Amino acid sequence: MSDARTEELAGALDAVRERIAAACDAAGRPAGDAHLVVVTKYFPAADVQRLADVGVVDIGESRDQEAAAKLAELAPDVRERLRVHFIGQIQSNKARHIAAYADVVQSVDRAKVLAPLARGALERGRVLPVFLQVDLAGDDEGRGGVLPAQLPALADATATTEGLELVGLMAVAPLHVDPAAAFDRLAVLSQRLHEDHPGATLISAGMSGDLEQAVAAGATHLRVGSAILGVRPARR
């Protein structure tokens, strides 16, 4: 598929990649050190297809039903080339289903979802990489996340669950807080996690509006939606 929308997406993708490269450069990090996940939530399968056509591999989705339906619309060879990151809140009764299609889950924030995620992964014959989502606001803005004080226990529970692999931390910068300060806090939490869990080295932070601050704080994964796809359609 190559149409005006494909060109629009390719142009926006280039601009975001340039922002990431400049931020890596400014932080003294090698280019390509921060991995781009294109957040396609609320956008149709046709846009995922267009992104795949221009070389995108990592996409992020945040709603179970929407994600599953969208992936089912893609041709199998296109689907196979994608790495799908689930980044939304996980209802425990949906966790097993999410693990049936997600290649990475970034939003684990409580122990209750571990067993069903693991079951879904094992049924699919694979180990599921998971990030723990941290609540940096600590005041329940409704964005989810485990409080920093409860992080070590959740990390231990994740690491000891067969079928899951603890790979790192994810966070969304709280509203009304300097994202640089929030991401620095996340980096400290990541360092501590790393001491107990040497394999958990990844940091998913930074979105369209604050990816530069995230790169400066050491993010390895950036989740960018609107800067590439445009303003999200209203959710139904």
Ligand X SMILES: *Cc1c(COP(=O)(O)O)cnc(C)c1O
Number of residues that bind ligand X (CB under 6 A): 13
- Candidate list 49, 150, 201, 208; residue touching ligand X; CB under 6 A: 208
- Rounded Cα distance between 229 and 181, Å, is 27
Q: Which two tokens stand for residue 53?
A: 């056509």
Contact 162, 122 (CB under 8 A): yes
Q: Pattern of binders to ligand X over 24-53, x per CB under 6 A?
A: ---------------x-x------------
Task: For residue 158, state whether it binds ligand X (rule: CB under 6 A).
Answer: no
Residue among 202 and 207 whose Cβ is closer to ligand X:
207
Stretch that binds ligand X, among 44-52, 65-73, 119-127, 224-232 (CB under 6 A): 224-232
- Candidate list 62, 158, 161, 220; residue touching ligand X; CB under 6 A: 62
Q: What is the DSSP string of 124-172?
A: TTSPEEEEEEB-SSSS--SS--B-GGGHHHHHHHHHTSTTEEEEEEE--
Q: How far is the CB of 17 from ligand X (least distance, A)?
A: 14
Stretch that binds ligand X, among 78-86, 92-100, 114-122, 225-233 (CB under 6 A): 225-233
- Candidate list 6, 92, 150, 226; residue touching ligand X; CB under 6 A: 226
3-state class (DSSP) for residue 204: strand
- Candidate list 36, 84, 99, 172; residue touching ligand X; CB under 6 A: 172
Closest to 226 measured CA to CA, from 12, 5, 1? 12
Residue environment code for 17-47, b if the CB has 16+ CB neighbours within 10 A, otherwise e: eebbeebbeebebeeebbbbbbbbbbbebeb
Residue among 150 and 226 whose Cβ is closer to ligand X:
226
Closest to 49 measured CA to CA, from 87, 98, 11, 82? 82
- 92-151 residues in contact with ligand X (CB under 6 A) are none
- Candidate list 87, 121, 151, 214; residue touching ligand X; CB under 6 A: 87
